[in-house]
A and B are shown apart, each in its own frame.
Chain A
Amino acid sequence: MAQLPAKSGDATTRPKTRAASKKSPYSYWFYVPSAVVFGVFFLLPTALAFYFSLTRWTLFSSTFIGFKNFVYFFQDPQLSLAFRNTLIFAVLTCGLKVVISLPLAALLTSGLRLQSFFRNVVFFPVLISAVAVGITFLTLMRPSEGIINLGLRAIGLPGPDWLGNPHLAIYSVALVDTWRGLGIATLIFIAGITAIPKEYFDAAALEGGAWVKFRHVILPLSRNATFTVILLAFIGGLRTFDIIWTTTGGGPGFASDVLTSVVYKEYQAGFYGLSAAGNVVLFVVIMALVYPLMRFFNRRELEL
């Protein structure tokens, strides 16, 4: 960035810009570094991948086969289950993260004695890698000796086979993911709440207690933060992969497969063109779900 023209608006040029009034103070040069890095290292490979989705691609050679890969992709008998699981996972983790972390953030900005301790502890899971989280929860969720079930049994509840029961596995992984992602969501909410001008709180304090404050100040005024959390969590949920892969691997059988794990397994199998096609489908699906959401949020963005 240092090499770019650093000064364009000194005393001599400024009147000109003003006069022309077309030249914005927000120079196009600000785009350039990002555009280069993003274009070369993301968009270009992605465009190549889109091309390869139309080929039978062995990595060693590729033959153009039109849209056949897409046909094969949709023929996968497990695909509808993967679609269902993807939606369940995204909605569930996104919902849980918002529902838990907004009140949590409100609580953690309300001046508890151990506030900073709580903030730290809630954020800790974010620091651990998915592989490590996977190892830890595989152990904690073991049906017989796992601590979670030991605890449940101690209070007289039956402990399920969290990750081994085909009907339960996807929900268990969603819980693990919520545990892991709560810290980020809470952090964004804390940032949002602390950005609310003090006067609002003072006004609420005159009218009533903590509920009024939450219902009439925090909830409406952290709308931007809520949008950010929902968007990130929802997209993150739709394209989640690592936590599923390190806990259930999409199993038992195909029971907790999501779109990304299906695509990844195709990649692993050496179906490179097919998995590229799967990624295109994934992209379209996420776009179709997220774009309206984004439009909606953008229109209702709050300027404080």
Chain B
Amino acid sequence: MRRLLIPLLALFMVAGAAFAQKVTLTYLVDDTQTDSGIVQALAAAYMKQHPDVTINVDLRPGGTDGDNIVKTRLATGEMDDLFWYNSGSLLQALHPEQTLVDLSGQAFMNNVVDSFKQAVSQGSAVFGVPTQTGMAGGILYNKAVFQKLGLQVPKTWDEFVANNAKIKAAGITPVAASFASGNTWTAQLFVLADYYNVAQAEPGFAASYTANKIDIATDPAALAGFQHLQQGYDLGWWQKDAATSTYNDALKMLATGQAAQYPMLTFALSEIQKNFPDQVNDIGFFAQPGTDAAKNGATMWMPAATYIPKTTTGAKLQAALDFVSFIASSAGTDVITNTVTPNGPYFIKGATLPDNVLPAVKDIQAYIDSGASYPALEFLSPLKGPNLEQICVAIATGQMTAEQGAKNYELDLQRQAQQLNLPGW
């Protein structure tokens, strides 16, 4: 047996050298249907063009469990050849300069829009290419409900509050909430999506926030998001079972008109389209209102990206880079468009959105076109407290006041900054 094996092995090696790239890559992505669907479609399209390359898609859980898996694998040198991960502050926690391949010198990076590169950079190095559309964070609303009650899209927070009073009087839940375990990230939107307003009120907020020159608990602009949550609890905007409702419960309420509004990122649109194809055109988007109607605009989220760890080398690295260049092309974005509904703009030059995009996506585009959009704080600062979601739930369920919550968050930030070893903390 062994006699046979060695020539066989030799044969394989020679053959391998001759055909140069019989390469098998693995790609790690979270197991949500949209994200893993995108990667599977991209891999299939690429393999069709490159029969010599095989890309196997590995799945991991999403959420913070998934973040842990990614960090653990990178730290122990056991990462897949390519992986999917958020951009912005979450990426910074992976210590990309130590663990990821710098893509800044690659030709295909010219296809990537500069504003995205910021969100995946450290120093002069750039680490990822966007692998989905960008999205906005704000209020998804049911247009049918608004029409029935004769409501206008609010431009200021006071108008929003007045709308909610009318909606509640009509027996409809003004704002759907989903505070169940595992869904608490959804509670942060009032705070995070308020960043456009914060940045309007205090230009340069991100830098002074990172340098510990701002006290969340006393800064009026920063505090507003927390106060909104408390107001929601005080005025009874959420549905009765909010504390045990899930993200999907909330989407269902919004789509079926049981709730009029849901503060959310627009990636929820794909989920709504999948589960409520008949209602998705009733869903619109508006930016979270602030104090000044003249300064109304949307907070934007950068897409997740594909990264290559430093442990990918040799022929695999070459193949991985080629696959990444495919992702960063309009051919790649077309594959994505055919797989999931676009939730916002692409960050690839030359990428086009189909004409039949969802109405809510057109709403987003209107903000972008009029210059009224600004990135969320997590793409401008590495600092984001891990307990924000629980703090938001605690405020929104009446366990803390906005001020107590903000104080708690200040402590949370302090711990995060100490761990990141940021100067000024």
Contacts from A to B (Cβ < 8 Å) = 56, 58-61, 72, 75-78, 138, 141-144, 161, 163-166, 245-255, 265-271, 273-274
Say yes or no: A255 contacts B399, CB within 8 Å: yes
Stretch of B1-9, B268-276, B390-398 at the chain-chain interface: B390-398
Query: Which of B27-35, B133-141, B416-424 binds A?
Result: B416-424
CB within 8 Å of A: which B64-83 residues? 64-65, 67-68, 71-72, 74-75
User: Which of A246, A254, A265, A269 is packed against the most chain B CB atoms within 10 Å?
Assistant: A269
Say yes or no: A249-B184 contact (C-beta < 8 A), given A161-B241, A270-B71, A271-B415. yes
Are B394 and A271 touching (Cβ within 8 A)? no
**Chain A neighbourhood of B65, CB < 8 A:** 268
The reply to whether B399 and A72 contact each other, CB–CB distance below 8 Å, is no
Chain B residues with Cβ below 8 Å from A267 are 68
Which residues from B are CB-within-8-Å of A265? 64, 386-387
| B387–A252 touching, CB < 8 Å | no
Chain B residues close to A by CB (< 8 Å): 64-65, 67-68, 71-72, 74-75, 93, 95, 98-99, 179-182, 184, 240-244, 386-387, 390-391, 393-395, 397, 399-400, 408, 411, 415-416, 418-419, 421
A77 contacts across to B, CB distance below 8 A: 408, 411
A61, A76, A274: which contacts B419 (Cβ < 8 A)?
A: A274
Q: Assess the A271–B419 pair: CB atoms within 8 A.
A: yes
- Min CB distance, B389 to chain A, in Å? 9
Give which listed residue, A72, A142, A163, A248, contacts B418 with CB less than 8 A. Answer: A72
Whether the pair A250, B72 counts as a contact (CB closer than 8 A) is no
Q: Which of B93, B390, B411 contacts A254 (CB 8 A)?
A: B390
Majority SS at the chain B contact face: helix
Known: A142-B244, A253-B391. A75 touches B399 (CB 8 A): no
B residues near A246, Cβ cutoff 8 Å: 181
> Which B residues touch A245, using CB under 8 A?
181
- A262, closest chain B residue (CB): B387
Can you show 12 pairs from A to B with CB atoms below 8 A apart?
A59-B72, A72-B418, A77-B408, A161-B241, A163-B244, A166-B399, A250-B181, A251-B181, A251-B390, A254-B390, A254-B399, A269-B64
Q: How far is the CA of A269 from the CA of B241 in the complex (A)?
A: 28
Taking a contact as CB atoms under 8 Å apart, the answer to whether B415 and A72 are in contact is yes
In whole angstroms, how far apart are the Cα atoms of A249 and B244 in the complex?
11
The answer to whether A142 and B400 have CB atoms under 8 Å apart is: no
User: Roughly how many angstroms separate A267 CA and B242 CA in the complex, as a whole number?
Assistant: 28
Q: In the bound complex, do residue A60 and residue B99 qualify as a contact, i.e. CB atoms below 8 Å apart? A: yes
Q: Are B99 and A248 in contact (CB under 8 A)?
A: no
Contact of A144 (CB < 8 Å), options: B67, B240, B386, B397: B240
9 A-B pairs closest in CB distance: A253-B394, A164-B243, A249-B181, A269-B386, A59-B75, A164-B244, A268-B64, A253-B393, A252-B243
Complex interface: chain B residues within 8 A of A248 (CB): 181
Q: Cβ of B418: which chain A residues have Cβ within 8 Å of it?
A: 56, 72
Add 5 more A-B contacts to A59-B75, A163-B243, A268-B67 (CB < 8 A): A59-B74, A252-B394, A270-B419, A271-B416, A274-B419
A61, A143, A251, most chain B CB atoms within 10 A: A251
Q: How far is the CB of B419 from chain A (nearest CB, A)?
A: 5
The complex places the Cα of A267 from the Cα of B72 at a distance, in Å, of 11
The chain B residue with its CB closest to the CB of A142 is: B244
Contact call B393/A251, Cβ cutoff below 8 A: yes
Q: Closest approach, in angstroms, between the C-beta of A208 and any C-beta of chain B?
A: 50
CA A164 – CA B415 in complex, angstroms?
28
Say yes or no: A253 contacts B415, CB within 8 Å. no
With A267-B68, A268-B65: A251-B184 Cβ-Cβ less than 8 Å: yes
**How many angstroms between the C-alpha atoms of A72 and B418 in the bound complex?**
9
Residues of A within 8 A of B400 (CB): 253
Question: Contact partner of B181 among A58, A143, A247, A268, CB < 8 A?
Answer: A247
A135, B180: Cα distance in complex, Å: 12
Q: Which residues of chain B have C-beta atoms less than 8 A from A165's C-beta?
A: 243
Residues A60 and B75 in contact in the complex (CB < 8 Å), given A143-B244, A144-B241, A161-B241 = yes
B244 touches A250 (CB 8 A): no
Q: In the complex, what residue of chain B is closest to A59 when comparing beta carbons?
A: B75
- CB <8 Å contact, B421 and A166: no
Q: Evaluate contact between A161 and B243: CB separation under 8 angstroms.
A: yes
Q: How far is the CA of A72 from the CA of B415 in the complex (A)?
A: 7
**Nearest chain A CB to B72 CB, angstrom units:** 7
Interchain nearest-CB distance for A64 vs B (Å): 13
A40 to chain B, nearest CB (A): 17
User: What is the CB-to-nearest-CB distance from A260 to chain B, in angstroms, rounded to a whole number?
Assistant: 15
User: Cα distance A166–B390 when bound, in Å?
Assistant: 12
Chain B residue nearest in CB terms to A247: B181
Query: What's the minimum C-beta distance from B161 to chain A, rounded to whole angstroms?
Result: 24
Contacts of A78 in B (CB 8 A): 408
Residues of chain B lying within 8 A (CB to CB) of residue A141? 244
- Pair B64/A252 contact, Cβ less than 8 Å: no
Nearest-neighbour CB distance to chain B for A267, whole angstroms, equals 7
Task: Give the complex CA separation of A276 and B267 in angstroms.
Answer: 36
B93, B241, B397: the one contacting A143 at CB < 8 Å is B241
Q: Contact: A253 with B241, CB < 8 Å? A: no
A142 to B411, CA, bound (A): 34
Closest to A146 in B: B244
Q: Which residue of B lies closest to A253 (CB)?
A: B394
Complex CA distance for A248 and B184, rounded to whole angstroms: 10
* B241, closest chain A residue (CB): A143
- Contact residues in B for A268 (Cβ distance below 8 Å): 64-65, 67-68, 386
Q: Which residue of B lies closest to A273 (CB)?
A: B419
**Chain A residue at smallest Cβ distance from B66:** A268
Q: State how many angstroms separate the Cβ of A112 from the closest Cβ of chain B.
A: 38
Determine how close the nearest CB of chain A comes to the CB of B63; give it in whole angstroms. Answer: 9
Contact pick for B421, options A56, A72, A253, A269, CB 8 Å: A56
- For the complex formed, measure the closest distance between the CB of A249 and the CB atoms of chain B, giving whole angstroms: 3
User: When A56-B421, A165-B243, A268-B65 are in contact, do A252 and B416 touch as well, CB less than 8 Å?
Assistant: no
How far is A109 from B21 in the complex, measured between Cα atoms in Å?
69
B390 lies within 8 A of A253 (CB)? yes
Q: Which of chain B's residues have a CB closer than 8 A to the CB of A252?
A: 179, 243, 393-394, 397, 399
**Smallest CB–CB gap between B169 and chain A, Å?**
22
Distance from B311 Cβ to chain A, minimum over Cβ atoms (Å) = 13
- Which B-chain residue is minimally distant from A165 (CB atoms)? B243
